[in-house]
């Protein structure tokens, strides 16, 4: 009887929540229909959902760059010739269409509340992983002041809560105010990020299997430099998870 009453109360609470704060599409903000029997997680609407491309094989098992056509996963040329310091990188979606709209709303539309929904989309690619702690890709203090929040930190906090792992938002710091990465070549991005990160308290991550969280992986320049910094500071391994992976070659 108690279990039944609790279930009824939860169902009523979920219904009131959906009524007062109706769920909306993360990409276009269209109102979504409530899900019977439980709280509605923000997701894509019926118009946007068919255009979302989720990460799938064939792809590089190291950097997650997708390949066209069919076949098995295999290392890309870049990861063979210049192996990255991270163990693997995974993303929930490919960066295009509704994924771009959702991340644009999240980062530049001042919608930090979207972090929860976007982070939940990342959970499936983290199944069967062994991790000790979660670290976000940091923003430089100047950029953080301008934006008001670090999108990667918000995603990492949700993941840490869901995975029941320690969340370390300050063990990796950005000490170099780099120019915007957009529009730069891979070589220019790598040079731009050289020496950009610092681990002020190495003891906090020593021998830990870390998950580095970012919003979008484009050329892997940022996650390479951040991962290398964490590894030099004593991390056992660094793996990477993002909301989206750019389709461009890395």
- The stretch 77-91 carries a mean pLDDT of 97
- The stretch 216-237 carries a mean pLDDT of 96
- Which domains are seen in the chain, by residue range? 1-51 (no CATH), 57-245 (3.40.50.2020)
Is beta strand 237-245 parallel, antiparallel or unpaired with respect to 89-94?
parallel
Q: Which pair of tokens denotes residue 201?
A: 């308290």
> By C-alpha distance, which of 223, 235, 218 is closest to 95?
218
| In the chain, alpha helices (H) | 2-20, 77-81, 98-107, 115-122, 141-147, 151-163, 186-193, 221-232
Residue 184, Cβ neighbours under 10 Å: how many? 18
Is beta strand 237-245 parallel, antiparallel or unpaired with respect to 209-217?
parallel
pLDDT over 70 for what percent of the chain?
81
Mean pLDDT of the chain: 86
Which of the two residues, 38 and 112, has the higher pLDDT score?
112
d(C-alpha 107, C-alpha 98), whole Å: 14
| pLDDT of amino acid 16 | 43
Predicted TM-score (pTM) of this structure? 0.85
Backbone angles phi and psi of 130, in degrees to 5: -110, 110
- The stretch 156-184 carries a mean pLDDT of 87
Q: Would you list the DSSP string of 44-59?
A: --TTTGGG--B--SSB
- The stretch 28-54 carries a mean pLDDT of 79
Q: Which pair of tokens denotes residue 215?
A: 């919003």
Residue 76: is its pLDDT beyond 90?
Answer: yes
- 198 by Cβ neighbours in 10 Å (0-12 / 13-18 / 19+) ranks as middle
Confidence of residue 183 (pLDDT cuts 50, 70, 90): low
d(C-alpha 27, C-alpha 12), whole Å: 28
């Amino acid at each position: 009887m108690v279990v039944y009453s609790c279930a009824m109360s939860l169902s009523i609470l979920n219904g009131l929540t959906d009524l007062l704060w109706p769920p909306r599409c993360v990409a276009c903000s269209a109102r979504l229909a409530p899900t019977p029997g439980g709280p509605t997680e923000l997701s894509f609407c019926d118009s946007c959902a068919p255009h979302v491309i989720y990460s799938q094989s064939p792809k590089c098992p190291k950097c997650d760059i997708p390949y066209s056509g069919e076949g098995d996963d295999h290392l890309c040329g870049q990861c063979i010739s210049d192996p990255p310091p991270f163990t693997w990188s995974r993303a929930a979606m490919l960066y295009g269409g509704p994924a771009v709209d959702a991340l644009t709303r999240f980062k530049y539309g001042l919608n930090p509340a979207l972090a929860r929904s976007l982070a939940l989309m990342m959970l499936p690619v983290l199944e069967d992983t062994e991790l000790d702690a979660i670290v976000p890709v940091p923003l430089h203090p100047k950029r953080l002041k301008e934006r008001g929040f670090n999108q990667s930190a918000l995603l990492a906090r949700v993941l840490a809560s869901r995975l029941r792992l320690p969340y370390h938002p300050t063990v990796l710091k950005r000490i170099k105010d780099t120019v915007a990465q957009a529009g730069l070549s891979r070589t220019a991005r790598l040079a731009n990020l050289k020496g950009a990160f610092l681990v002020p308290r190495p003891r906090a991550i020593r021998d830990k299997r870390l998950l580095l969280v970012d919003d979008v992986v484009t050329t892997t320049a940022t996650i390479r430099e951040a991962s290398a910094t964490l590894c030099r500071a004593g991390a056992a391994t660094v793996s990477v998870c993002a909301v989206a992976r750019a389709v461009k070659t890395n």
